[in-house]
Structure 1
Amino acid sequence: MKLHEGDIGKTYIVYSVMVKDAITRRLEALGVNEMTPVTLLNKKGSGTVIIKVRGTRLALGRKISEGIEIKEETGHE
């Protein structure tokens, strides 16, 4: 599922990041990498999502959040 489709308050694992290379590099610098847990804190009507990753809160626009594939954290990883 895409990041913007997740449920508020749940923690997910980043499965893949499919956005422009420059954005991918910036996200990696901020800690949003494959296999990284992220918690979805809030979703706005415009499609913006607020996530918590590695102790930092980030706001991502809809186009970026549509390019981030996530899966539910199962606790076995």
Structure 2
Amino acid sequence: MNLLQGVINKEYIVKNIEVEENVQRRLQALGLISGTKIKVLNNKKNGSVIFKVRGTRLAVGKKIAEGIFVLN
């Protein structure tokens, strides 16, 4: 499943990130890599997804959230 399908207040583990290369490098620099635990804080199905990764809150748009695949 992708991050856009995530449930609020549930923790997931990043499986794979399939976005543009420059976006992927930026996410990696922020600590979002395969195997990282994340917690969905807010999920607006038609907009952004806010999640917590390594103690930091991040927000990504719908297109990027669809490219971040997670495990339950």
Q: For residue 15 of structure 1, what is the aligned residue in structure 2? A: 15
Query: What's the secondary structure of 2:9's corresponding residue?
Result: coil
Per mean C-alpha deviation after superposition, the further-off stretch among 21-30 and 36-45 is 36-45
CA shift in 2, pair 1:12/1:45, >3 Å: closer
Q: CA RMSD in A?
A: 0.8
Q: For residue 26 of structure 1, what is the aligned residue in structure 2? A: 26
Runs of 4+ in 1 over 6 A off after TM superposition: none
- The two structures have a TM-score, normalised by structure 1, of 0.90
| Alignment length (residue pairs) | 72
Of structures 1 and 2, the larger Rg is shown by 1
- The two structures have a TM-score, normalised by structure 2, of 0.96
